[in-house]
Structure 1
Amino acid sequence: MAKVTLDRLRKVYPNGFVGVDDASFEVADGELLVLVGPSGCGKSTLLRMIAGLETISGGELRIGERVVNDVPPKDRDIAMVFQSYALYPHMTVAENLGFGLKLRGAGRDEIARRVREAAAMLELEALLERKPAALSGGQRQRVALGRALVRQPQVFLLDEPLSNLDAKLRAGMRVEIAKLHRRLGATMIYVTHDQIEAMTLGQRIVVLRDGRIQQIDTPMALYDRPANLFVATFVGSPKMNLLRGEVVEREGGLRLRIRDGIELPLRLEGALAEAVRGYLGRPLVVGLRPEDLHLHGEAGGRGLPAQVELVESVGNEAFVNLDCGGCDLVLRTAPRGLPRAGDAVQLGYDAARMHYFDPDSERRLG
């Protein structure tokens, strides 16, 4: 296996559109790194640049210690798994698994050994004589993974490999890919638009938007300390609640005035308190995760006043959709003792878990 290093990588198309701008990061040897972002953010383009399927307009790409900017895909020692399974319909599973090795001139015994090893790892032994038409979606995806596995490449590249599967199969295959990574200790770069997939699979995550990297960090660091508003609302389901208002000072301290009669006390200390104080009389955005809000009591009690719009019970938890002075909020709670649509409630919140953002730059304070 090998590390992958991107140094100020750029992709500019002939019409001047910048698909990837100044991407710099390193994927450690044996790491599973996830590229995540909305459609059109440049994540698949970046993966295809690493694979050699897209030309590099600027910067340097290294696999191991070798610069591979102009190295053909077949000589980069990588294996790629696509969103489409791309299996040969006239070949059996065993023939599909071994076809890449056959093209590279591997001997028959070597092909048979590697196919057996990959089939055992992915529980495909009973399917080796079947053709793709006789396989389920999950089985076809495992064959596509196995075809990459038998190559024993330096780097695995996976481009949204689970997006064609239903929800149950997707969850199962996520577990299989994570187990496979632990077993192989392989260097893997995984592309997805699904932030749940990114959070559950990635040892580190690269969040992209409009071709630019927004933040690189571990899943929980992204969740707990998002660098900007985009990351804050993209990572997490339901997304982070955002309260917009003006910072004012009352006898009890700083508050966010959402509208007349609705103010959110800001319990701050240290450098963050000074940073927020700099916004007195100016707009500020405050974020709270759905689990950091709670139903505080009846209308007229202490807390943040809101009205229940919709209650979604999903079995082990419930999501309460609320309107708070024109701000849409979602609260995550246990599915018992729930309010009803139209109820006026008071919201409590975990002040230590608040996030503060500049409304213009969208960057996190502190």
Structure 2
Amino acid sequence: MAAVRLDQLRKVYPNGHVGVADASFEIADGELLVLVGPSGCGKTTLLRMLAGLESISGGTLSIDGRVVNEVAPKDRDIAMVFQNYALYPHMTVAENLGFGLKLRGHKQADIDRRVAAAAKTLELESRLASRPAALSGGQRQRVALGRALVRDPKVFLLDEPLSNLDAKLRLSMRVEIARLHRQLRATMIYVTHDQIEAMTLGQRIVVLDGGVIQQIDTPMNLYGKPANLFVAGFVGSPAMNQLHGTLRLADGWKLATAHGDIALGEPAQAAAWQPWRDREVVLGIRPEDLQPQDAATAALSAQLEVIEPVGNEIFLNLRHGDRALVSRVAPRALPEPGSTLALGLVAEHLHLFDAASGARIGA
């Protein structure tokens, strides 16, 4: 396996569109790093540049200490798993697994040994004689993973490999990929638009938007300390609630909004808020930190619009003025939709952002 280093990597298309803007970070040897963001954010473009399928407009890309900007894809010692399985329908599982090795001139004994090892790792031993049409979606994706696995490459690149699977299969394949990474200790770069996939799989996550890296961090740091409003809104399901207003300090911290003042209490991070007094800010509240409370001590009130019970928790969809809010609560008896709920905030978990730039205050 190998480390991968990007230094000011850039992709500009002939029409002037910047697909990736000066990406700089390093993937450690044996790390599983996830690239995540909405459609068109540049994550797949970045992965294709790593694979050599997309030319590099500027910057330097190194794999295992070797600059590979001009190196052909076949000579980069990487293996790629695509969104569509790209299996040969007329070949058996064993033939699909070993086809790349055959093209590279490996001896049949070596191919058989590697195919058998990959099939055992991915629990495909009983399906080696089957053709893709006889396999389930999860089995086909495991064959696609196995085809990369037999190569024993320096780096694995996975481009939204679970997008074509149903919800139950996606969950089981996430566990499969995490187990495989732990077993192989391989360097893996995984692209997805699904932030739940990113949070559950990635040791670190690179969040992109518009070709620009917004934040690189561990899953829990992204969730607990988002660098800006984009990350705050993208990471987490349901998304972070956002309320716009003016930060005031009078008998405690308050957010003055068009629909009344919201009491913020005395949070531990208040020292970092001092320079932002009387300025426009955005208050971020995670759904679990917005809870029904006694009206006498509540920070705000909102109209209950929709109740979504999902088993072990309930999502309350609320309306505060022109702002939609979501509260995540434990199963309990609740008032009918249309009623008004008093809500309290968990002061130490509040987030504050500059309304103009979107940057986190006190980062």
Counterpart of 2:225 in structure 1 is 225
Aligned: 1:295 with 2:292: yes
**1:311-336 Cα deviation digits (max 9, x unpaired):** 10011110001112322110001121
Counterpart contact for 2:254–2:261, Cα < 8 Å: no
Determine helix, strand or coil for the equivalent of 2:142.
helix
**1:2-55 Cα deviation digits (max 9, x unpaired):** 000000000011111110000000000000000000000000000000000000
CA distance in 2 between counterparts of 1:300 and 1:349 reads: 13
- What are the residue-to-residue correspondences of 1:171-186 with 2, within 5 Å? 171-186=171-186
* Cα displacement (A) at 1:121: 0.4
* Cα displacement (A) at 1:146: 0.3
TM-score, reference length from structure 2: 0.97
Aligned: 1:98 with 2:98: yes
Which range moves more in the overlay, 278-287 or 80-89?
A: 278-287
- What are the residue-to-residue correspondences of 1:202-351 with 2, within 5 Å? 202-250=202-250, 252-268=251-267, 272-297=269-294, 299=295, 302-351=298-347
Determine helix, strand or coil for the equivalent of 1:161.
coil
Counterpart contact for 1:254–1:277, Cα < 8 Å: no
Task: Provide the aligned length of Structure 1 versus Structure 2.
Answer: 362
Structure 1 residues not aligned, in runs of 5+: none
Counterpart contact for 1:244–1:285, Cα < 8 Å: yes
> Relative to structure 1, is the Cα distance of residues 260 and 147 closer, same or farther in structure 2, using a 3 angstrom cutoff?
closer
CA distance in 1 between counterparts of 2:82 and 2:76 reads: 17
* Cα displacement (A) at 1:230: 0.2
Counterpart of 1:365 in structure 2 is 361
* Cα displacement (A) at 1:307: 1.1
* Cα displacement (A) at 1:190: 0.2
Aligned: 1:355 with 2:351: yes
Counterpart of 1:130 in structure 2 is 130
Which range moves more in the overlay, 214-223 or 272-281?
A: 272-281
Counterpart contact for 2:162–2:173, Cα < 8 Å: yes
* Cα displacement (A) at 1:159: 0.2
CA distance in 2 between counterparts of 1:19 and 1:142 reads: 31
CA distance in 2 between counterparts of 1:261 and 1:55 reads: 53
* Cα displacement (A) at 1:210: 0.4
Determine helix, strand or coil for the equivalent of 1:25.
strand
CA distance in 2 between counterparts of 1:9 and 1:321 reads: 42
Counterpart contact for 2:3–2:64, Cα < 8 Å: yes
* Runs of 4+ residues over 6 Å off in structure 1: none
* Cα displacement (A) at 1:254: 2.5
- Aligned-residue RMSD, C-alpha: 1.2
TM-score, reference length from structure 1: 0.96
Aligned: 1:63 with 2:63: yes
Determine helix, strand or coil for the equivalent of 2:276.
coil
CA distance in 2 between counterparts of 1:69 and 1:132 reads: 35
Counterpart contact for 1:308–1:341, Cα < 8 Å: yes
* Cα displacement (A) at 1:266: 4.4
Counterpart contact for 1:256–1:266, Cα < 8 Å: no
Which range moves more in the overlay, 207-216 or 316-325?
A: 316-325
* Cα displacement (A) at 1:262: 3.7
Counterpart contact for 1:204–1:217, Cα < 8 Å: yes
CA distance in 1 between counterparts of 2:326 and 2:228 reads: 20
* Cα displacement (A) at 1:345: 1.2
* Cα displacement (A) at 1:275: 4.3
Determine helix, strand or coil for the equivalent of 1:138.
helix
* Cα displacement (A) at 1:338: 2.1
Counterpart contact for 1:12–1:57, Cα < 8 Å: yes
**Identity across aligned pairs (percent)?**
67
CA distance in 2 between counterparts of 1:332 and 1:345 reads: 14
Counterpart contact for 1:262–1:305, Cα < 8 Å: no
**1:113-139 Cα deviation digits (max 9, x unpaired):** 000000000010111111111111111
Q: Which amino acid aligns with 1:83?
A: Q
CA distance in 1 between counterparts of 2:254 and 2:267 reads: 10
CA distance in 1 between counterparts of 2:297 and 2:47 reads: 53
Which range moves more in the overlay, 238-247 or 157-166?
A: 238-247
**1:294-316 Cα deviation digits (max 9, x unpaired):** 1103x566431111011100111
Determine helix, strand or coil for the equivalent of 1:278.
helix
